[in-house]
Every structure is written in C-alpha cells, then in structure tokens.
C-alpha cells in the first residue's frame, strides 16, 4: 500500500526491537474517525450548547449590569435632587426669617420717622414760642424805654 491509501504506523517489536511498519487502510481510518466522533461528538455538542447558553447568559448579565448602572445613576441623580430640595427648604426658611426681620425693621423705621416728625414739630413750636417771647420782650423793652423817655421829657 502507498502512503496515500493509508497511514503508516511504526511500532517497535517487543521481541526484536526492530520497527515494524503497519499500514492502516482508509476504511480503517474512516471507521476510527467515525468511532471517535460517535464517542466524543455528543459530549462536544453538549459542551457547545453549554457554551452558547453561557454566552447568552453573559449577554443577559451584561444587560442587567447596564440596567443596574442606569438605576445607580438615577439614584445618584435622585439623591442630588433630594439635596437640592433640602437646600430649597433651608433657603426658604432663611427667606421667611429675612422677610420677618425686614418687616420688623420697616415698622421700626416708620415709628422712628413719626417720632422724628413729632420732635421736629415740637422743636419748631418751641422755636416759634421762643421767637414770640423774644418779640414780646423786645416790644416790652421798647415800650419801657419809650415810657421812660416820655416820663423823662415831661419831668
């Protein structure tokens, strides 16, 4: 047989130690191939199915992880929104306090303006009274001087 028609198998003779050339025919090779395939092919197909299932499960896990990541981002965003609302509440309290303080200050300013107007009116009245008193005193003194001058002339 030629090399193309079969496979050469070299074995050593146990007795002599001389290599013995054996020829395995194509039919034998096909039968051996078929036998090996029959033994291992179901297991290989089963492993292949498991690998495909693992790959599919891996895709599902990747999708789940992406969804969890998205939810985590939304959670972080919700936390930021909640913090913003807390700040809004705090600022609103501060604003209410400032409005109350402004109202109190405005009321005090109005009362101070009224008191200032009353004091100014009182001062103007006092100045007017003092001016009248001075005028009266001046007229009285001038009358006295006139009386004294007329009495000195008549005497």
Which sign, positive or negative, has the C-alpha torsion 142, 146, 147, 151?
positive
pTM: 0.44
Measured CA to CA in angstroms, residue 70 lies from 26, 83, 117 at distances of 61, 20, 68
pLDDT tens track, the chain, 155 positions: 344 444 444 454 455 555 555 566 788 888 888 888 889 999 999 999 999 999 999 999 999 999 999 998 888 898 999 999 999 999 999 999 999 999 999 999 999 999 999 999 999 999 999 999 999 999 999 888 888 777 777 76
């Amino acid at each position: 047989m030629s090399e193309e028609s079969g496979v050469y198998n070299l074995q050593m003779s146990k007795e002599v130690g001389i290599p013995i050339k054996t020829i395995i025919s194509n039919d034998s090779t096909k039968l051996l191939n078929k036998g090996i395939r029959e033994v291992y092919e179901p297991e290989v197909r089963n492993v292949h199915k498991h690998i495909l299932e693992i790959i599919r499960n891996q895709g599902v896990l990747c999708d789940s992880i992406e969804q969890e990541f998205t939810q985590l981002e939304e959670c972080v965003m919700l936390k930021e929104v909640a913090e913003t609302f807390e700040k809004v509440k705090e600022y609103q309290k501060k604003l209410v306090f400032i409005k109350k303080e402004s109202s109190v200050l405005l009321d005090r300013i109005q009362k101070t303006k009224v008191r200032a107007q009353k004091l100014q009116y009182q001062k103007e009245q006092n100045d007017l009274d003092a001016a009248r008193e001075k005028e009266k005193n001046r007229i009285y003194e001038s009358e006295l001087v006139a009386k004294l001058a007329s009495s000195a002339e008549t005497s």
